[in-house]
Structure 1
Amino acid sequence: MINAKEFWKKRFSAHMKETNRYLKYIFNGHMAVAMFFFVSALAYFYQQWLQDIPEGFPTALIVGAAFGYMVSYSPVRTLLKEPDLVFLLPAEYHLGDYFRRCLYYSYVIQLYLIFLIGAALGPLYFATYPEFGTRHYLMMIGVALIIKVWNMLSNWWMLKERSPRIRVTDQLVKAVLNMVIFYFLAKGEWLFASIVTVLLVVVVLYSYNLSRKKAGLTWDLLVQKDQQRMRTFYRIANMFTDVPHLKNTVKKRHGLVRALIGGLTYRQDQAFAYLYRITFVRSSDYLGMYFRLIVIGGLAVWFVPNVWFKAAFALLFLYLTAFQMMSLWNHHRTIAWMDIYPLKKEWKTKALLSWMKQLMLFQTFLFGLLFLVQWNPVGLVIVWGGGAVFSYLFINSYVKQKLV
């Protein structure tokens, strides 16, 4: 008979070793400095904005949606692997203690999201509803911790259901009810919140009753869900370091490919320029990350009131973009054909440096357009001029030295 407790310890130890291996690269010095600056600046302007908060601002709606989403998002990490479908299936009824520990672990590692949201929205809530005070807000957080348990148990029970339509419907209904509960709590309407809470309990009990009718666990679904979450983690880690066992997906995107390679010729020294452009467009990592950084940086540039902080945010996100795009250099390192073809290494270096410079200049141009729309000529000159100089110096000094 399998020892569920010992099995959990081994599987948990291996999982922590694997995640810690990549977390040290994610939270490296570059990212720590950038995030410290980003969070500090946002906190400063957040505090300034709260001093003159608009009348009628929908604080209750924002707090209800944020808390409701956080308690609804309650996935269960089982740490299962594909071979478990064969070797552990016969021992399912001996693994009760293992899955209980999975629930405990999943609950604990997700608590930081509730506390993070609570800390972020606390000043906004106190500025809007000073009459409720700290005790009321702490009670809301306590209710969130309790409802989080209900949602996680309900999600675990629903994993016995094979129909995706039923699972999605269940998730949507609970998410809406959770948001409505915290909307009423934020407004101090405990009676309405209690009524909706009763409806949530009914949905949770329905999930439990549905799971009792199922014969056993859907092991393939449990493995699939856990693999999806690990792939998400690996994609994030792959932006900072190499993840050998990450299975990258490729998308065609014919229109973008034609637009980017249209000006290239079929000469040998253009081979890497062609390769890096289509890799950037068709890979599942680079294009999405590039546009996400543009959107987040653009929002910061748009909403931050001070022109110098606007320019600083623009340069910060230029730096983050260049830092992330450097991983293109090693993207094809395992392909033997790269060493067989008669292509010079300096062509490869030149192609990547040129492509990264174009990406940074295009991002600089877009950030400048935001200053133009807001009619801020000083900021426009600072960003376009400073962004161009920064792109040139960063590419030809730091990035060039790292391409080895």
Structure 2
Amino acid sequence: MTQDAKQLFFTRKKEISKEKQYYNKFIFNGHFSVFLVILLGAFILGYGDWLKSIPQHINYALIASVIVAITSMFPLRTLLKDADRLFLLPFEKNMELYMSQSLVYSYFSRIGLQILILIVLFPLFFVINNQSFEFYILFAVLMLVMPYLGLLVKWQWYKYKLESWSLHLVLFIVYTSGYYVALEAKHFSSLTSILVLIGLIILLKYQNKNQLFPWERMIKSEQQHHMNYYKFVNMFTDVKHLKETAVRRSYLDPLLITPKNKKFNENYMYLYLFIRSFARGKDAFNIILRLVVLAMILMFWLHQPLVTLIIGSLFMYIILLQMAQFYTQQAYGLWPQVWPSSDTKVIKGYEQFLYRLMFIVGVLFVIVYAITFPVYSYYGLLFFLVGWLTIRNVIKKLKYQESLLRD
């Protein structure tokens, strides 16, 4: 039975890997790969310039400790499915090996991010500590060991039926204190955090001797993690398994005024539909908002007019390009069936929506560019030019695709 549990996990893991390989073809396409390369180059360039004149009187150890503490809270991936609460219930006593494999999988699924952060932070602390790095080895050990211990604590915590917020609070305090002592005091006493986590594991494991497997909680948690992955993939291609949700954002109500009688027809219907779906949708709005904020931060941070201009133009292109998936979600949804209309009306409404989005994003980018480089502020018009060319290309492709469907 123990081997069956192990085989079940590896079967589930293989299914997940196969699904991710399929979607990776759409995620890491030509456009996105170029975007990542340029973004990486801009970050390295800006980071290198910033390290030459690092601002003083800032507690970088505390800031880094807080950031790394947050990233060290790895999600617990069990790969359980909804039907498992019924079919695996008699198998509960043999689930310990399954969970051991889940913990290892959860750790290695996220350890790459820790290593990346470790590499990024090294030049900063190497410079501010006069090219000394011995203490950083201790910090690296903590970054690699504590997340796995945190997963062990998380499993026992959930099994004991304690609240998630209390777990995250405890882990945040333990992680932050350990990282801060390693970076600021540079002392081996930071290893006390590891001892605290081990003590928690032993204590909770003793208390959980007679506890049952938390099926409902683990299945719900896994479903949420899987849905978050689908939301990310949905930026690049349609995902059949994704469940659309709506969120009320009262501060966007001025954008959703009910059209007047003369605009209450098929000529304006799809413009209103796209704006409303975007403003009320949970996924597209959050994705675009994050991209805009990230672009503005990079534009403020990079102090080279040409590089900043390229970054802003690239983000404008990516933002508008990602909205192409938004068209397929709405144009083939419920409303076109309730109120049938020509596909030219749908495309026209989508084009008007994209121009409005481009204008808002373009204005924000121009303001940031003008504040950062007042002398070259008129160069910000390039953002609108890139947006206009991108929309033309997107609409041209949509019209061609619809013509093929008609044939």
Specify if TM > 0.5. yes
Q: Is the 8 A contact 2:46 2:301 kept in 1?
A: no
Question: Pick from 174, 178, 181: which aligns with 2:175?
Answer: 178
TM-score of the two chains, using structure 1 as the length reference: 0.91
Q: 1:201 to 1:9 in 2, by over 3 A?
A: closer
* Distance of aligned partners of 1:46 and 1:361 in 2 relative to their CA distance in 1, 3 Å threshold: same
Which one of the candidate residues 224, 227, 233 is aligned to 2:223? 227
Q: Aligned pair 1:301/2:285, yes or no?
A: no
Instruction: Give the CA RMSD over aligned residues.
Output: 2.2
User: Equivalents in 2 of 1:218, 1:325: separation in Å?
Assistant: 39
Partner of 1:79: 79
CA contact (8 A) 1:178 1:200 kept: no
Residue 404 of structure 2 corresponds to which residue in structure 1? none
Distance between the aligned counterparts of 2:175 and 2:251, measured in 1? Answer: 42
Report the CA distance between 1:341 and its aligned residue: 3.2
Alpha-carbon spacing, 1:248–1:336, altered in 2? closer, same or farther (3 Å): closer
After superposition, the C-alpha distances for 1:36-61 in whole angstroms (9 at most, x for unaligned) are: 10111111110111111123332211
CA distance in structure 2 between the aligned counterparts of 1:190 and 1:349, rounded to whole angstroms:
63
CA distance in 1, matches of 2:70, 2:248: 33
Secondary structure of 1:130's counterpart equals coil
Residues 338-393 of structure 1 deviation map (CA, whole Å, 9 limit, x = unaligned)? 24634111111111111111101111111111234346141x2111x212222222
Offset of 1:401 from its aligned partner?
1.3
Distance 1:101 1:201 in 2: 19
Alignment gaps of 5+ in structure 2: 402-407
- 1:70 deviation in Å? 3.0
What's 2:318 paired with? 320
Judged with a 3 Å threshold, the aligned counterparts in structure 2 of structure 1 residues 44 and 131 are, in CA distance, closer, same or farther, namely closer
Q: Does 1:392 align with 2:388?
A: yes
| Conservation of the 8 A alpha-carbon contact between 2:246 and 2:282 | yes
1:271-324 Cα deviation digits (max 9, x unpaired) = 111211111111111211222111111111112111112211111111111011
Map 1:55-204 onto structure 2 (within 5 A).
55-71=56-72, 73-130=73-130, 132-133=132-133, 135-164=134-163, 167-204=164-201
Q: What is the deviation of 1:268?
A: 1.8
Residue 255 (structure 1) shift: 5.2
Q: Which runs of 5+ in 1 are unaligned?
A: none
Residues 74-95 of structure 1: CA deviation (Å, up to 9, x unaligned): 2221100000000001101123
**Aligned-partner Cα distance in 2 for 1:279–1:267:** 18
Aligned-pair CA distance for 1:266: 0.3
Q: 1:60 and 1:395, CA in 2 relative to 1: closer, same or farther beyond 3 A?
A: same
Contact 1:157 1:208 in 2 (8 A): yes
- Between 1:77-86 and 1:285-294, the stretch displaced more is 285-294
What is the DSSP-based 3-state SS (H/G/I as helix, E as strand, rest coil) of the residue aligned with 1:174?
helix
Query: How far 1:112 moved relative to its partner?
Result: 0.7
Asked if 1 retains the 8 angstrom alpha-carbon contact of 2:156 and 2:201, the reply is: no
| Total equivalences in the alignment | 397
% same residue? 24
Misfit runs of 4+, over 6 Å: none
Q: Deviations over 1:196-216 (max 9, x none)?
A: 55444444444333433x521
Counterparts of 1:376 and 1:402, CA distance in 2: 38
Q: Give distance in 2, aligned partners of 1:314 and 1:381.
A: 14
> CA 1:87 to 1:195, structure 2 compared with 1: closer, same or farther past 3 Å?
closer
